[in-house]
Structure 1
Amino acid sequence: MATTDRQATTLALAHALSAAERGLAVIPLSRTKLPALRSPHRATSDRTPSDRGTPRHDVPGPTAPVCHGECGRFGHGVYDASTDPRRIRRLFAAAPWATGYGIACGLHPHFLIGIDLDTKSGTDSSAALRELALRHLFTIPDTVVVLTPSGGRHVWLSGPPDVVVPNSAGRLAPGIDIRGAGGYLVGPGSRTRHGVYSTAPGTARLAPAPCPTALLRLLTPPPRTHHPTPPATGEHGQGLVQFVLAAHEGQRNTRLFWAACRAYENGIGPDLSPALIDAAVHTGLSEREARSTLASAARMTGRRP
């Protein structure tokens, strides 16, 4: 059994490195499809010997610090995702029980959006998607499709860099879940408790196709009230702040992280940070959480906060 697990880990690493070559940021996953590395900010006293090889992934306790990787350690879920082969090898070396890999959504260069067509909800999710396409006049283009062990499908689409698609479950239609910014998709070649994920015939070498505009409108929440921002950061900076202000509960941290990444990538991160923090606090985040998220964005984009 141990040899089989080692082989599964080796194969998962190979698939993950191949995905990274295509610009897809990856993390190791356990057989449960959860990130293989547990948070370094949880106490270890609740871990028993039988837990070895199947790390827990509980939400950090009330005394745990808000951290998205600024501490420099692994175990921050999708925030660990990388396209750097050396970092990926270190991630898998730290998780020798990993048998799969996750692909982070919403990141440069593909800004991946995953349409998860489930089969376990008792509804025909594929028919629901076709009905939406007919009603809103869009067509799903030829793109990467990943087949799940349960008979479902993950349709990969590429979003525009200035639009953040939030994660959702059943909001678009029953049986259709969306993986967007802050989420991840199980990569093809991953082995889980229920079987192996694989690409549908003829789609393995395709790039994620652009998301149809009409579908993109369905996936993004409506904007909220306009609030002025400092003119020094220009229209782009104002747009990023408005994006944070438009966040609903459950999207606030994801939207702030994405906006901060775009700000640092465009060289306006330091100037825009106060406005982004104010906007995040306005939506309900604490100033401490907002500053931690900005620091994480600076680290991920290679800038100093």
Structure 2
Amino acid sequence: MAISDRRAATLALAHALSAAERGLPVIPLSRTKLPALRSPHRDAPEPHLCRGECGRPGHGVHDATTDPATVRALFAAAPWATGYGIACGRPPYRLIGIDLDTKTDTGTGTDPAPGTDSTTALQHLALRHLFTIPETVVVLTPSGGRHIWLTGPPDVVVPNSASRLAPGIDIRGTGGYLVGPGSLTTHGVYRTAPGTGHLAPAPCPSALLRLLTPPTRPHAPTVRRTAGSGGGHGLVQFVRAAHEGQRNTRLFWAACRAYENGIGNALADALTEAAVHTGLTEREARATIASAARLSGLGSGSR
């Protein structure tokens, strides 16, 4: 490992321990922003939806902890980790992340449309639904986006979503995680916005919370959604268009998005077929989809 990577790993551990000391459950992340530890069940003959019950690390956000000794052990098992993730929806803060993505170049695939300004979109939502984002922790991403940290009440489960509120606005809730400030990724370093580092995450405004927790839809229609419906078709085509070297990455990304939107189980076969079309084996494809289900906390189909 290069000296710069050693320093990045040391800093990541220090930042993670500091976050854990403040009550934020953390996991080590690689430069790709994915959990640094691979699933201990990756070689199982069948997809294995364990969420840490086996007692071994490698279960994504389910490994998140505030215990300093366990944090050190996780990072020791992943010395290549250059960042850390903070689990959302967990006490005491029950963190909710408002991920504002800004695209100024030409969008492709399932990326936000070119010119997307999610900050303006959030302002429009605030005016329409009469809420104000309070002073709170804000983390600046290397791509120019922002993560707004809010807290939720103990009796409300906020699901993860991608561009449901508006294009470019993703929500990180229960089963998801935020990249912690100080993390080094392939695109740069995540940093706390000036003037917000001393703040504690503020409570989510009630009007915004209602938008984040829509009424539960009937189960049957969700199960019947197929690869040919809405975003499911786009995700399948995104996987089918993968070239060698990006097949597994595209499949994992698409599967995560499918579980975020409640169609992961319904779309699994179509995604597997698309991945096999690109050259992956069915076993590899289903193992990757199972990993996405574990990471999203949605093995049973909700995020």
Q: TM-score, normalised by structure 1?
A: 0.68
Residue 13 of structure 1 aligns with which residue?
13
Q: What is the one-letter code of the residue matched to 1:182?
A: G
The code of the aligned residue for 1:191 comes to L
Structure 1 position 221, deviation (Å):
2.0
Note the C-alpha offset of 1:88: 0.3
1:124-163 superposed matches below 5 A: 124-163=117-156
For the 8 Å contact 1:164–1:181, the answer to whether it is kept is yes
3-state secondary structure, aligned to 2:163: strand
Q: Does 1:217 align with 2:200?
A: no
CA-to-aligned-CA distance 1:202-245 (integer Å, 9 cap, x gap)? 111111100000000000021468xxxxxxxxxxxxxxxxxxxx
With over 3 angstroms needed to count, the CA separation of the structure-2 counterparts of 1:12 and 1:133, relative to structure 1, is: same
1:173 and 1:210 map into 2 onto residues whose CA distance is: 21
1:64 equivalent to 2:60? Answer no
| 1:89 aligned partner | 72
Q: Structure 1 residues 224 and 124, CA, compared in 2 at 3 Å: closer, same or farther?
A: closer
Runs of at least 4 residues off by over 3 Å: 248-252
Indicate if the aligned counterparts of 1:166 and 1:251 stay in contact, CA closer than 8 A: no
Of 99, 109, 117 in structure 2, the residue corresponding to residue 116 of structure 1 is: 99
In the TM superposition, what are the counterparts of 1:250-261 in structure 2 within 5 Å?
none
Once the two structures are TM-superposed, the CA of residue 64 in structure 1 deviates from its matched residue by: 2.7
Pairwise CA distance, 1:169: 0.3
Residue 26 of structure 2 corresponds to: 26
For this pair of structures, how many residues does the alignment match? Answer: 216
In the TM superposition, residue 2 of structure 1 has moved relative to its aligned partner by 1.1
* Distance in structure 1 (CA, Å) of the matches to 2:201 and 2:263: 26
Letter in 2 for 1:222: P
Larger Cα-atom Rg: 1
- Find the aligned partners of 2:35 and 2:9 in 1 and give their Cα distance: 14
Question: 1:101 corresponds to which residue?
Answer: 84
Question: Are residue 37 (structure 1) and residue 37 (structure 2) matched?
Answer: yes
- Counterpart of 1:196 in structure 2 is 189
**Aligned twin of 1:186:** 179
Q: How far apart, in 2, do the equivalents of 1:64 and 1:90 lie? A: 26
Counterpart position of 1:273: none
Report sequence identity in percent: 78
Tell me the CA shift for residue 250 of structure 1. 5.2
Question: Relative to 1, partners in 2 of residues 1:168 and 1:197: Cα closer, same or farther, differing over 3 Å?
Answer: same
Gaps of 5+ in 1: 44-60, 226-247, 253-288, 294-305
CA distance in 1 between partners of 2:210 and 2:9 (Å): 39
- Shift in Å, 1:27: 0.2
From the superposition, tell whether residues 24 and 6 of structure 1 become closer, same or farther in structure 2 (CA, over 3 Å). Answer: same
**1:153-209 Cα shifts (integer Å, max 9, x gaps):** 000000001000000000000110000000000000000011000000111111110
CA distances 1:82-124 after superposition (whole Å, capped 9, x unpaired): 0000000000000000000000000000000000000133311
Verify the 8 A CA contact 1:103 1:185 in the aligned structure 2.
yes
- Name the structure 1 match of 2:279: none
SS in 2 for 1:182: coil
Letter in 1 for 2:97: G
Counterparts of 2:162 and 2:57, CA distance in 1: 27
Cα shift at 1:65 = 2.2
